[in-house]
């Protein structure tokens, strides 16, 4: 849904890096490994969060009750 603000395993803040990652690795052509290295996301627990996240926020927002 929305990227966890912190890594559930180690607690490092990840929420501020998601937009950069998405722009460069998912929408862009860059290698996800290099983007994560560049953003300072080094531990595998945090990398898992980035690589397995499915961004559904926009889809779910359509059904928001008003």
List contacts with Zn ion (CB under 5 A): 7, 9-10, 12, 43, 45-46
User: Least distance in Å: CB of 41 to Zn ion?
Assistant: 8
Q: Taking each helix axis as running N to C, give the angle between helix 44-52 and helix 32-39, from 0 to 180 degrees, rounded to the nearest 10.
A: 130
3-state class (DSSP) for residue 50 = helix
Comparison of 13 and 60: residue with beta carbon closer to Zn ion: 13
Comparison of 7 and 25: residue with beta carbon closer to Zn ion: 7
Q: Which residue(s) pair with 6 in the sheet?
A: 13
In the numeric block, which tokens belong to residue 34? Answer: 């290099």
Comparison of 25 and 46: residue with beta carbon closer to Zn ion: 46
């Amino acid at each position: 849904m929305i990227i966890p603000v912190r890594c559930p395993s180690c607690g490092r803040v990840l929420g501020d890096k998601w937009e950069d990652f998405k722009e460069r690795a998912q929408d862009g052509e860059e290698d996800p490994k290099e983007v994560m290295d560049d953003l300072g996301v080094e531990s595998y627990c945090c990398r898992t969060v980035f690589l397995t996240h499915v961004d559904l926020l926009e889809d779910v927002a359509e059904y928001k009750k008003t």
